[in-house]
Amino acid sequence: MAASELPASLKNSLENSKAEYVRLGKSGLKISVPIMGAMSLGPKHWAPWLIEEKEVSPLLTQQIAPDT
């Protein structure tokens, strides 16, 4: 199997998924929108380990568009 080929079961899962997938910058990776760090985002009064929007915005921008 070539590196660009996906196993049939994974290909079927991706094609039938209701999740939205996007490319992660120029990495070639396709990730689901919900997985993009959403677990760690939120106000710190919920949990001290959360990252506030103002803190994470530059990080996500760098991940999505590293050349900007």
What gap in Å lies between CA 46 and CA 22, rounded to an integer?
28
With tokens 């590293």, the residue in question is 66
Distance of alpha carbon 45 from alpha carbon 5, whole angstroms: 44
pLDDT at residue 6, as a whole number:
78
pLDDT recorded at residue 37: 56
pLDDT score of 4: 65
| DSSP structure string for 21-40 | EEE-TTS--EEEGGGTTGGG
Domain-embedded: residue 57: yes
Domain presence at residue 46: yes
For the segment 8-55, what is each residue's pLDDT rounded down to a tens digit? 888 888 788 777 888 888 888 887 776 555 667 788 898 888 888 788
Q: Find the domain containing 45 and state its range.
A: 19-64
pLDDT of residue 10: 81
Q: Which residue has the higher pLDDT, 63 or 8?
A: 8
Please give the pLDDT value at position 1. Answer: 46
Taking alpha carbons only, the member of 13, 33, 29 closest to residue 21 is 33
28 within domain boundaries: yes
Q: What Rg value do the Cα atoms of the chain yield, rounded?
A: 15
